[in-house]
Amino acid sequence: MSEATNRPRAATDVIEALAIAWRLTMADFVQLWLLALIPIGVMTVITVAVSVPCLGWLLLLVSLLLVKPQFLAGLYAALVRPVDGRPLDFNDLFAAYRERFVESMVAMLPVYAIWIVFSLVVMAISGVSMFGAQMFRHAANEFGPLGVFSGGAAALATLLSLLFAIGLIALVMFLPLTIWDHRGSGWDAFLAAVRLSMARFGQALGFAALAFVIYALAWIVGLMLLCIGVVVTLPIAAAWVGMATVLLYRGWTGREDAPAIPVPPAPAPAPVAPP
């Protein structure tokens, strides 16, 4: 039996999925790095360009609706191949533009809405703490009860943001995969991702926390390597976490052939000239 046939194609345990995905990452390091570098590079360029006056909001809108959802779905579609033991195809990065353009965009809208609402709550907490500090700064020094309250409120806002980010990742971590299994309905793809995570929310939360740590370490190590190291560490982290997500998606759905990614039709044979 060949290695490709014998390799695990699904996992139900988070640590097992990460271990298998790490071996797959190391087995095809350069190709996977290049694959993940493309969407990360494009989104990074757009993020930097958002600071351009006048065009910033337009570029941000383009990124959130027309770049990030489609590239995420395409990246995860591409990462299915190494999990199956098949060679990578960089054309898969653009598969969502061909097959799931609207669905991927619609599926991300609830995620953005949830994040905006929570961000407003966090801003309110931070604003109250800053307002209180300004109102009573003459009545207490920074080491007094008011200073403790103000610092505590700011720390609470930061902690809530971190916990919420991990929780949101846990809820929608399968979204780039459920998009492929729900043609014609981005909303159904969103609900399917949430239901699958909620069924094993403890494990999903643990995986999201580990993924957060992996990305944080990728940033730290990359910055330590003269900053340009993030060009290597972040794409590798994305490929590693992405393949682990594919393995868990298959294990938790019980479908080793999931997701149902459309196969583009083979090109028509060239006409044969008559003799």
CA–CA dist 182, 201 (Å, integer) = 22
Global confidence as pTM? 0.85
259: alpha, beta or left, given left = phi > 0 and alpha = psi -120 to 50?
beta
**How many Cβ atoms are within 10 Å of 251's Cβ, its own excluded?**
21
CA–CA dist 254, 170 (Å, integer) = 19
**What local confidence, expressed as pLDDT, does residue 58 receive?**
83
Specify the long-range contacts of residues 5-9, CB closer than 8 Å, at least 24 apart.
5/85, 7/85, 8/247, 9/83, 9/84, 9/247, 9/250, 9/256
Give me the DSSP letters along 124-167. HHHHHHHHHHHHTTTTS-TTSHHHHHHHHHHHHHHHHHHHHHHH
Check if the beta carbon of residue 259 is closer than 8 Å to that of residue 100. Answer: no
User: Percentages helix, strand, coil for the chain, rounded to the nearest 5?
Assistant: 75, 0, 25
Per-residue pLDDT of the chain (275 residues; tens, 9 = 90+): 344 456 678 999 999 999 999 999 999 999 999 999 999 999 888 888 777 777 778 888 888 899 999 999 999 999 999 999 999 999 999 999 999 999 999 999 999 999 898 888 877 776 766 665 555 555 555 445 555 555 566 677 778 788 988 999 999 999 999 999 988 889 999 999 999 999 999 999 999 999 999 999 999 998 888 777 889 999 999 999 999 999 999 999 999 888 888 766 555 565 665 66
Closest Cα partner for 194 from 204, 209, 181?
A: 204
CA–CA dist 149, 16 (Å, integer) = 43
> Helix 68-84 crosses helix 29-49 at what angle (to 10 degrees)?
170
**What local confidence, expressed as pLDDT, does residue 2 receive?**
41
For CA atoms 67, 72, 74, 79, give the dihedral sign.
positive
Check if the beta carbon of residue 24 is closer than 8 Å to that of residue 83. Answer: yes
Alpha carbon dihedral 138, 139, 141, 147, in 10-degree steps, equals -110
Check if the beta carbon of residue 153 is closer than 8 Å to that of residue 125. Answer: yes
